[in-house]
Structure 1
Amino acid sequence: MITKKHFKLALIPLAFSSLLDRPVYAAEDDAAKDEKVIVTGSRIRQSQAAGNAPVLTLDRDDLAKTGLTSVADVLQKMSTSGAALNTRFNSSGNFGMPSDGGGVGAGGAEVDMRHLGSDRVLVLVDGRRWVSGSSASGVSSSVDLNTVPLAIVDRIEVLEDGASSIYGSDAIAGVVNIITRKDVNGWEMNASYGGFGDFIADIEDGETTSFDMTFGATGARHSIVTSFSHVDQNVVYSQNRSLATEPLFGTGNTRGSSATPFGRFVFFDGNGDVVSTTPNGDAGNLNYPSDFHDFTDDDRFNYAAFNLYVTPSKRTNVFTRATYDLSNDVTLFTQAMFNNRRSKNQAAPEPIFIGPDAGTGGIADTVSIDVTNPYNPFGVTLDENNFIFAGRRPIENGPRQYSQDVNTYYFTTGLEGTFDTGQSAYYWDVSMSWGTNRASQIKTGALNAARIKRALGPLSECQADPLCVPLNIFGRNSISQQMLDYISFTQKDASQNKIQLFNANINGELFEMPAGYAGFAAGYEHRVQSGFFEPDAIAASGETMGIPASPTNGSYDVDEYFLETKFPLLSGVSGAEYLEVSAAVRRSEYNTSANTSFDATTTKFGVLWRPIEELSLRATVSEGFRAPSIGELFNEGARNDQSMSDPCVNASSSVQERCLDIWPNIDFQALDSLGQTQISVNTGGNPQLNPEESESFTWGAVYSPDWFRNSNTWNNIGFELTFYDHEIKNPIQALDAQTQLNNCVLLNNDEQCFGIARGGNGGITSFGNGLQNLDKTGIETAGTDFKLNISTEELDWGRLGITWRNTFVEYYRDSFFGRDFDGEEFGSNPDRAIPEWKYDLTVDWSLNSWSASTTVRYMSKIYESCSDFLDGTANSLTNLGLCSNPSSVDDSFSTNIMDETYYVDFQLGYNTQLAGMDADFALGARNLFDQDPPLCTQCDLNSYLPGLYDPQGRFWYLKVSLRP
């Protein structure tokens, strides 16, 4: 619904344009005005500068200047981008399974726009939907951009507006359209080498090499392009980055795991007192209590040393596209691509958490340590009568390692052509596409909880199994290879996403109007999407000591019809050099394999008004939707372990009273001893989900004054201002678990307590957190984009170009939380934050054979809570001096500021002839001044936000390109 607020804000571009000397239209030469093409955001052929929605175009030169080897890395540098998955997320063993059933996406890379999530961004390749990613941990609804190599990209068009009426589901926050290379004559070779270090000759880690070769030929009736590419990105270990050497930088081991290489054991002694104890040293004939001491936070285990800072990835791609003119008016086209990704993740050895309050929600919670176990030093059985929990980190088994092998296939074929009726030309195309993304993952270092239970239980039960070896978890180096052989296994998982498309489209002119011809585009699309996740049998049965997993299997098909029109109303009259209105409507009808159905009709209206030649004013209002994904509909259940602070731990008397009202059997002495840092959250799909709905508004101005046209210095000056406003209703998500727990306990919200269960001693053992359509208000965000482009003529000192892109977030509200999140860190898996201001400023210079490019990237301050489970103790974040705004009243009120951050990237280029070939050389550095990312006290991994900030270290690279 359009409100008064939207009308008032729509007047802002007019007020802005009045501040300029001459209001605005981007200058073009006459040839460019006459050329009509299809630009992302519309299916009607038109002049590239004539659209009523903002589109950012990145061409091959723009991509080359970044020195990056991934489409995702390029897009994540945009000012409009939010925190999205990339290869700096060492995700497999650390996050568990997300609530949307999409898996952790290990080794993948995605794009987020407007901080609304990667599943609300539609990714197209050559205007067609691309197959979603798969990483053998779920069925994702987001595209893994590692499946599209930079070598095949001609340009990337980013629509910074909602477009469900044009493209269907998912196009809420924007659309990314990757246009592949088509017209290539001859061959081209590109190679690069780089890594983190003091200079290119002193690379220390993260070595990255890339190579691609492209061949092309065009004839009278045919064209063909074939490309081969390979990227090899090597590992960076967390222990080699100072900020990531501990679970939280500056806290020692106090935030480490309670599962230590020595073992931690919490139980009631004979007097009914809680004992929390750990062995003094290595394994041997341990005696309790002489060989044990009271466990403290300083005994915790530093799991960060085993993590990865940048995950290794090898990507190989083969791509080909061919066209053949069957006649003057009909062309046959075919496009095929194969991409293989091999990547790895690593985490600390899989912990053994057992006992009634272990909180795994599975077999491990039922494990006891029997008195007949030959290594039991306590002389009694630890069971449900006296056992609270035990934690042991079996470093003898080595780290958990996850290896992904992901194959992507995509094939398209079809016909396109033109025909004339009278004086009007019509363009049509029909095509069919098939895409498959299949992944397998092998995990080593996994442990079998059922066998651990047998090996720690009564000796007679272990002896009844000819394979069983009694297990010793008491003291470091106590677990022998025979013991490991019995309790460990290799986990094998697989998943797949598949898409099938049939498209038929036509566009052209309807009738003549006073300002030109009315245009239209119409079409039909039939789409079938299916996917499955097949977890390892042991993981699916719940016998794993790691994250259990449930299978997913489902599909849906959709029929869609769309119509888009534009009407040029006025041209060449006073006050209206040009005036155009447009409208679009799309009908989508879904049927799922669960015999459910839903549909959506979305509309979009736009206006483009050019009061004078140099000024364009434009606005759009559109409806959008996002259909629930296969993972959201059909995931049978999953668990993720979240770093959370239990408000019942170390609580005040009033909070303890509230906790007892909800869970009457809490033993606070035992609960405080547990000191839970990770809580297992159970989630799953919901076949009754409805689509998300959205309303989007954009309005803005494009201004290019003409005074420079007679200048001998300036070639182009352009300003662009866009205001955006997105509102999402019925969002599909699980409640934030930390917020739910706080609301339950601290805000006395009984409804939020539903699904949260505690063990007999108070530890959280079950946390139900399933997917649902949240309330009607949902998510709202609004802000402003401002862009400036300046270029000069070729002068004595060279040619200069300046591009400055800014995004200002006015607000980002989630109705469930009831507050504004812009400028704050929030969420988890992955951690997210919303800078109020982001920009990238690029200055390009060229003279003869030399060129240089410098980019400054900026992010404003981020505020975060500076509180965790050790509040009120000597080791609280406040008392350790890590909070920039500490509270002297209550540690839980302390906050921390991640200061504004600048990154400088630089590239120097030289063009010459080499053995009769045209050769381009480039030497560059990203993060030239070695800016460290700001410390994040609430982040789950490596103490920073890898979705927003660059990794610690300066990255040098060298590139060479050869052409005949």
Structure 2
Amino acid sequence: MMKSLRPQRLAKAIQLSLLLSLPAAFASNVAAAQDAPPADQANATTLDTVTVTGSRIKQSNLVTSQPVFILDRQKLEKTGVQTVGEILQQLTASGQALNAKFNSSGNFGYPNDGGGIGAGSAQVDLRNLGSKRVLVLVDGIRWVNESSASGVSGSADVNTIPLAIVERVEVLEDGASAIYGSDAIAGVVNIITRRNFDGAEAHAYYGEYEDGGETTEASVTLGGGGERFNAVFGASYYEQKKISSGSWEQSSFPTPGTGLRGGSSGTPQGRYTFCDPSIADPTQYGFCDPAGEMWFDLTLNDGTTTPAWDPNDPTGGTYHNFSGADRFNFAPYNLLLTPSKRKALFTSLNYDLTDNVRLHAKAMYNNRTSTNQAAPEPIFVGPFAGTGGIADTVIVHADNPYNPFGITLDPASNFGWVTRRPVEVGPRIFNQDVDTSYFNLGLDGTFAVGEHSFSWDVNGVHSENKAQQHFFNGYNVAKIKLALGDPAVCALVPGCVPLDLFGGQGRPMTQEMIDWIRTEQIDASKQTLDLLQANITGDLFNIGDRTAGFAAGVEHRKYRGEFNPDPLRRTGESQDSFAAAVSADYKVDEIYAEANFPVLASLELNAAVRYSDYSTFGDATTGKVGFRWQPVEDLVFRGTYSEGFRAPNLGELYGLTQFGATLVDPCGPTGTLVVDASDGLNTTPLETACRAQGVPNGFEQANTQITTFTGGNPDLQPEESDSYTVGMVYSPSWAEGLSWSDKLDFELSYYNHEVDGAIQARDLQALLESCLAAGGLPTSSPSCAVFSRGPSGNLNPPNNFLDNLGTIKTDGMDVKVNWRSPEWGWGRLTAGLQATTVFKYEAVDVDGFKSQREEGVEVNDSAIPEWQTNLQVGWSKGDWDVSWTSRYISSVKEACSNVPVAEAPGCMGGVEFNDLGSTTYHDLQVGWKNAFTLDGLKLSLGVNNIFGKEPPVCLTCSLNGYDAGTYDLPGSFWYVSADYRF
């Protein structure tokens, strides 16, 4: 039975008006075809042509009703970077998104949206609404979403599009679901490829950071044609080498400035938490009390080669009580910059079948290999491991020849956990191999009906993103269980040898042990998008001496997603993480119409409506209206209101994985004695609630990453949004042709987005705090329903599945200024300013919990600065040009309550927030055309972050001590490039 979105009155009204107006376009007889721009340019062109991204109607105005930011090839080259993703993430409207600075594989498990980790990919976020709410187009047609071998994502990897083939990038900073369909809530990124190219061009590039990370890029582009055809061919190669986290002092510890206390409890010396049933004295250390308060919690002394255990003197020999000082520093094993190689081929062909019908074809292949690296995988066995799987059920048999305690450790009675990080095995390595292919075949043309001209196009597209990830140095937990159990049973299994988790670094595992438990794991995923599309645009009718334009079209899409995790992940035998397979598809059929009406000499109105029918949830109708008012020649006012939606993607519908949610437990996040019954009293409401949950004295949550079972929900409904923009563009004629100014433009735009039914899992941190504030018991509050604790007080794995839970509201303003001087004797100056300020960002779920994520706040490796500003200043004369760019990010703050270590700098002395100061990066580039008198040769030399500004220390960020989605890598980056066109 079909399900529908709530009634959309705006969309229905627009739909009726558009359908009534379309027949007028065909009232006359067919006349001779007239020349018109190629139809595939109707999807996206620069502002000096007749169409713009955000509308499929040819228009005669340079300034339209929606804000569009253009990055032409010259601007792209002046950034000094060689990836589309990095360029887009420098936009002032951009928020946090994946890039090569994220090294998340092996550290957090799978995210709760079913989309996978996205290792090695680069995504784009606009308005801080997430990459899934940004639609990525290539030449006006949807691009396939990425897979990265860890899920079925709802986001596109923009680094699958090599920069060498890009003519320009157009960013629509407005909602556009009525024009383009699902996902265009926060905006649209339209990447326009090179088409009209004649000749040959060779490009070479080399750059390097202060700490290494060499970047090499080379490409060749060939183009030409004859009377009836033209073609472009391109090939490119890109290589980015790694930078180790150990090369930067700030990332040398898990929590900057606190040393090992912020590290992992999985240490090379091991950690052993258990009790001895033979101890009868309830006051003696090691007694098996139900709360676990008297249990042994030990680790080996450094330098121990032969552990010696005396239950009557547990810390008198080779053991001591485990403390924060014993935690393991995993940071040096991670990567500050992940390595990546990309090879791409691209071709585009246009052939005129007749004077007014053209065949067009386009194909691209891109291969990416990349690597993530993490510290050697720790082994956690016993119920305190909290995996919800096999590891929690492991029994360490008394007859295990390496068990020094002489007793069986049984989860049912006396076993907490044994942890050990075998550094002798080596770091975890995750190698990704990703292939992206794209093929477009279609026709486009023009015709006329009376005095009205029309353009049309038909496209058939097949695109595919296929990935495989090879994981090295992981473990089979089922084999670990067998090797720690009864040696007699192990002996019956070929290859099984008893496992030693008790000797620390002084007695490393033997090769036989490693070979028995170590396993390689291969995960794979694939997404395909098949699309059929037909569009028509042209003149509708005349209103006075002006023409009303229209566009209409139909589209059919089929999405298919597959995720095939390694069999060990599916059975729960992987020590790394559990994941279930996904194999699903859905179809969507759509029809849209758009019209532009010149109502008065100075006023234009436009409207669009789109009807979508999904095989997964039903139908949706969205609409958009806008205006453009030009009261005087120099000044344009504009505005839009649009309804949007985002259909749940396949990962959100069907994925099932584990996620390592980072939780700060209010009952003892830093080892302080929050729960202290020494006086026999519960002195605070928090202590009372923690005690009600069974938290023992002196409790410290064993790990801040709590395993969470999460995944998709086939009953999800689309997200819905309401967006509006208002703004002005002022191009004063009094600033033209002056001694100090040749051209001056001002642009001011206000945006407002509200997303309802946002697809998300619940905020476990807020839920846990609410539960404890209410008393801590299931009877106290519904927020306690997902939480339970083991005998030690450690949180058990909660379930946290996706639903339409959230409402997100954000608004802000964009400011843009462009100025160009006249041609003076000593050269010409240019200046450009783009600034974005966020007035408000608020996310609230259905339980009434407000997310900590808001403007001016750093949380979950994601900051929302109140101001981001880019300023470009340029000078040019003859063959020389110099550009200087300043990129400013305002200060943000992070809550000290989220910092896992109380002694962290910036949060001591009862301080509520740690401030991350404002940051400004300065980039310089010098260009020389026709270098060394060789026509067509251009050399560029540049330095990004020329003063070596380091990102501010982030105490809550997961890796490397800074927010990799907001700030640049530490240190300067220099580069040189050469372009030769002939």
* 1:526-552 residue CA offsets vs partner (Å, 9 max, x unmatched): 000010100000111101111111111
Note if contact 1:676-1:869 (Cα within 8 Å) is conserved in structure 2: no
Does 2:228 match 1:221?
A: yes
Give secondary structure in 1 for the equivalent of 2:260. coil
Deviation by residue 1:697-735 (Cα, 9 ceiling, x = unmatched): 000000010012342442210000000000000000011
After superposition, the C-alpha distances for 1:19-65 in whole angstroms (9 at most, x for unaligned) are xxxxxxxxxxxxx9997532100000113513100000000000000
CA spacing shift, 1:598–1:919, aligned 2, 3 Å = same
Counterpart in the other structure of 1:178:
191
Cα shift readout 1:470-504 (whole Å, capped 9, x = no counterpart) = 01111214211110000010000000010000000
**2:166 paired residue number:** 153
Say which SS state the counterpart of residue 229 (structure 1) adopts. Answer: strand
* Structure 1 residue 206 corresponds to structure 2 residue 213: yes
TM-score (norm 1): 0.91
1:594-743, aligned counterparts within 5 Å?
Answer: 597-635=617-655, 637-649=656-668, 650-652=673-675, 653=682, 654-661=685-692, 663=693, 666-669=694-697, 672-743=699-770
In structure 1, the partner of 2:254 is 247
Counterpart-to-counterpart distance in 2, 1:88 and 1:515: 55
2:834 counterpart residue number: 805
Cα distance in 2 for residues equivalent to 1:700 and 1:492: 51
Change (3 A) 1:740 1:673: closer
Cα distance between partner residues in 2 of 1:645 and 1:913: 59
**Residues 641 and 404 of structure 1: CA distance in aligned 2, closer, same or farther (over 3 Å):** same
User: Match of 1:113?
Assistant: 126
Task: State the distance in 1 between where 2:388 and 2:428 align.
Answer: 21
Q: Is the 2:254–2:260 contact (alpha carbons within 8 Å) kept by the matching residues of 1?
A: yes
SS at match of 1:589: strand
* CA distance, structure 2, for counterparts of residue 645 and residue 676 of structure 1: 9
Q: Counterpart amino acid of 1:99?
A: N
The residue that corresponds to 1:818 in the other structure is 850
**Alpha-carbon distance between aligned partners in 2 of 1:917 and 1:704, rounded to the nearest angstrom:** 36
Structure-2 change in CA distance of 1:34 and 1:821 (3 Å)? closer
Which runs of structure 2 are paired with 1:82-101 in the superposition (5 Å)? 82-101=95-114
CA contact (8 A) 2:266 2:419 kept: yes
Which residue type is aligned with residue 274 of structure 1? W
Judge which range, 426-435 or 818-827, deviates more: 818-827
Counterpart Cα distance in 1 of 2:842 and 2:921: 28
Structure 2 partner of 1:933: 951
Q: Which residue in 1 is equivalent to 2:35?
A: none
Do residues 462 (structure 1) and 482 (structure 2) align?
A: no
Contact 1:184 1:218 in 2 (8 A): no
Work out whether 1:861 is the aligned partner of 2:891: yes
Q: Is 2:558 the partner of 1:537? A: no
- 1:959 maps to what in 2? 977
| SS state at 2:897 partner | coil
Unmatched segments (≥5 aa) in structure 2:
1-6, 10-44, 280-286, 289-293, 676-681
- Counterpart CA distance in 1 for 2:978 and 2:391 is 55
1:268-287 residue pairs with structure 2 within 5 A? 268-269=275-276, 270=279, 271-272=287-288, 273-282=294-303, 284-287=305-308
For 1:919 and 1:763, locate their aligned partners in 2 and report how far apart those are by CA, in whole Å.
65
Aligned equivalent of 2:794: 763
Amino acid at match of 1:760: P
2:460 matched residue in structure 1 = 432
1:620–1:698 CA contact under 8 A, matched in 2: yes
Give the CA deviation at 1:869. Answer: 7.2
CA apart distance, 1:826: 5.0
SS at match of 1:460: helix
- The reply on whether 1:566 has 2:589 as its aligned counterpart is no
Q: Is the 8 A contact 1:935 1:944 kept in 2?
A: yes
**In structure 1, what is the Cα distance between the partners aligned to 2:650 and 2:383?**
35
Give how far 1:286 is off.
1.4
Paired residue for 1:67, among 59, 77, 80? 80
CA distance in 1, matches of 2:948, 2:783: 45
SS at match of 1:741: helix
- Determine which of 580, 596, 600 is the counterpart of 2:604: 580
Sequence identity of aligned pairs in percent?
46
How far off its partner does 1:887 sit?
4.7
Question: Which residue identity lines up with residue 538 of structure 1 in the other structure?
Answer: L
CA deviation map 1:233-291 (0-9, x unaligned) = 00000000111111011011111110100101112243332211111135643111321
CA contact (8 A) 1:677 1:869 kept: no
Cα distance in structure 2, aligned partners of 1:485 and 1:117: 42
Matched positions, count: 899
The answer to whether structure 1 residue 392 and structure 2 residue 420 are counterparts is yes
Instruction: Return closer, same or farther for 1:548/1:820 CA change in 2, 3 Å cut-off.
Output: closer
Three-state SS of the structure 1 residue aligned to 2:107 is helix
How many angstroms apart in 2 are the aligned matches of 1:375 and 1:556? 54
Distance in 2, matches of 1:708 and 1:150, equals: 35
- Provide the secondary structure at the position in 2 that maps to 1:50: coil
Per-residue deviation, residues 323-358 of structure 1 (Å, max 9, x unmatched): 000111000000000000000000001110111111
Q: How many angstroms apart in 1 are the aligned matches of 2:442 and 2:551?
A: 18
Preserved CA contact (<8 Å) 1:887 1:894:
no
Residue in 1 aligned with 2:512? Answer: 482
Q: 1:942: which partner in 2?
A: 960
1:231 aligns with 2:238: yes
Supply the distance in 2 between the matched residues of 1:630 and 1:232 (Cα, whole angstroms). 32
State the match for 1:50 in structure 2. Answer: 63
Shift of 1:673: 4.9
Q: Name the amino acid aligned to 2:627.
A: V
CA contact (8 A) 1:79 1:805 kept: yes
Task: Tell me, in whole angstroms, the C-alpha distance in 1 between the residues paired with 2:50 and 2:652.
Answer: 37
Distance 2:791 2:82 in 1: 53
CA contact (8 A) 2:857 2:863 kept: yes
In structure 1, distance between residues paired with 2:571 and 2:864: 39
One-letter identity of the residue aligned with 2:796: T
What is the SS of the residue equivalent to 1:953?
coil
Which one-letter code corresponds to 1:854 in the other structure?
Answer: W
**Using the alignment, how far apart are the partners of 1:424 and 1:416 within structure 2?**
17
Q: How does 1:766-915 map to 2 (within 5 A)?
A: 766-774=797-805, 778-816=807-845, 817-818=849-850, 821-825=853-857, 827-828=859-860, 831-868=861-898, 876-877=901-902, 879-883=903-907, 886-888=908-910, 894-913=912-931
Q: Distance in 1 between matches of 2:81 and 2:838?
A: 27
**1:847–1:35 distance in 2 versus 1, CA, 3 Å:** closer
Matched position secondary structure for 1:451 = helix
- Unaligned regions of 5+ residues in structure 1, if any? 4-31, 198-203, 572-577, 871-875
Task: Work out whether 1:361 is the aligned partner of 2:391.
Answer: no
The alpha carbon displacement at 1:844 in A equals 1.0
Per-residue CA deviations over 1:53-100 (Å, capped at 9, x if unaligned) read: 000000000000011111010000000000000000001111210111
Write the distance in 2 (CA, Å) between the matches of 1:779 and 1:590. Answer: 24
CA distance in 1 between counterparts of 2:46 and 2:581 reads 54
1:313 and 2:340 are equivalent in the alignment: yes
Which amino acid in the other structure matches residue 188 of structure 2? V
Equivalents in 2 of 1:72, 1:880: separation in Å? 33
Equivalent-residue separation in structure 2 for 1:514 and 1:915 (angstroms): 56
Which residue number corresponds to residue 20 of structure 1?
A: none
Contact 2:839 2:855 in 1 (8 A): no
Q: Contact 2:47/2:63 (CA < 8 Å) preserved in 1?
A: no
Residue 918 of structure 1 corresponds to 936
1:607·1:619 contact (CA, 8 Å) conserved in 2?
Answer: yes
Alpha-carbon deviation of 1:383?
A: 1.2
Deviations 1:836-861 (A, max 9, x none): 01000010111112111111001111
Q: Which residue of 1 aligns with 2:436?
A: 408
Q: Aligned partners of 1:526 and 1:543: how far apart in 2? A: 41
